[in-house]
Chain A
Amino acid sequence: GDSVTQMEGPVTLSEEAFLTINCTYTATGYPSLFWYVQYPGEGLQLLLKATKADDKGSNKGFEATYRKETTSFHLEKGSVQVSDSAVYFCALAEGGSEKLVFGKGTKLTVNP
């Protein structure tokens, strides 16, 4: 079945450092890919998405490119801030299914 594997955390960075959170997926067709973010004490919210190969999703300085050849959707940000501290989830959705499949989440802590 469909699955998402993301790098295990926690990840701890200093402010202004470069961030990469790896995400790879397994799917039978051509899924849409998402990154969701969960701030402390809150529900998840959509950070960015890409619906087809080579698409780049971007939001709030975060970017991720849908790479079909490597089945990857890595999340990157050039300069993280303390306010980016959160748990990040990679997810996929495949046409014909009503189920969104999530990775296990990666906790990011950014220190001043």
Chain B
Amino acid sequence: NAGVTQTPKFQVLKTGQSMTLQCAQDMNHEYMSWYRQDPGMGLRLIHYSVGAGITDQGEVPNGYNVSRSTTEDFPLRLLSAAPSQTSVYFCASRTTGIRTPLHFGNGTRLTVT
């Protein structure tokens, strides 16, 4: 059972480039989310989805787009990368219900130069 799989593990972009961070889960979880982790800031929610076709903004959505066409996949798109988006990105999923635990992927370390 793979759980939550994120690709790539590492990525370097130049300012203005675009890319998509992939996230897939095989646990049939309805809820999926993206966080960024920065030193001294903890984890901040970027976007989340409560099911296929439904997405919503989190705490820091600017500069990121998401879509949820299937239950399994929840890609995060950076349309025009900026140095401020240098961070470690985590995808997480859970079953229905806010009180159930989140399952995290191992993260993508992104550097924007």
Contacts and interface: CB of A to CB of B under 8 A. Distances in A.
Interface stretch (A14-22, A65-73, A76-84, A94-102): A94-102
B56 A98 contact: yes
Given A41-B106, A98-B31, A99-B58, A89 B42 contact: yes
A93 B98 contact: yes
B93 to A, nearest CB: 11
Nearest to B35: A102
Contacts, number: 56
B42 A46 contact: no
Given A41-B106, A98-B31, A99-B48, A49 B101 contact: yes
A100 B48 CA distance: 11
A98 to B, nearest CB: 6
Contacts of B56: 98
Nearest to B101: A46
B43 interface: yes
Nearest to B45: A99
Given A104-B42, A105-B42, A93 B106 contact: no
Contacts of B104: 43-45
A84 B49 CA distance: 33
A89 B43 contact: yes
A95 B48 CA distance: 16
Contacts of A51: 99
A41 B9 CA distance: 10
A93 B100 CA distance: 9
A94 B42 contact: no
A44 B98 contact: no
28 contacts: A41-B106, A42-B106, A43-B92, A43-B105, A43-B106, A44-B43, A44-B104, A46-B101, A46-B102, A89-B43, A93-B98, A94-B98, A95-B99, A96-B98, A98-B31, A98-B48, A98-B50, A99-B45, A99-B48, A99-B58, A99-B59, A99-B98, A100-B98, A100-B102, A103-B42, A104-B40, A104-B41, A104-B42
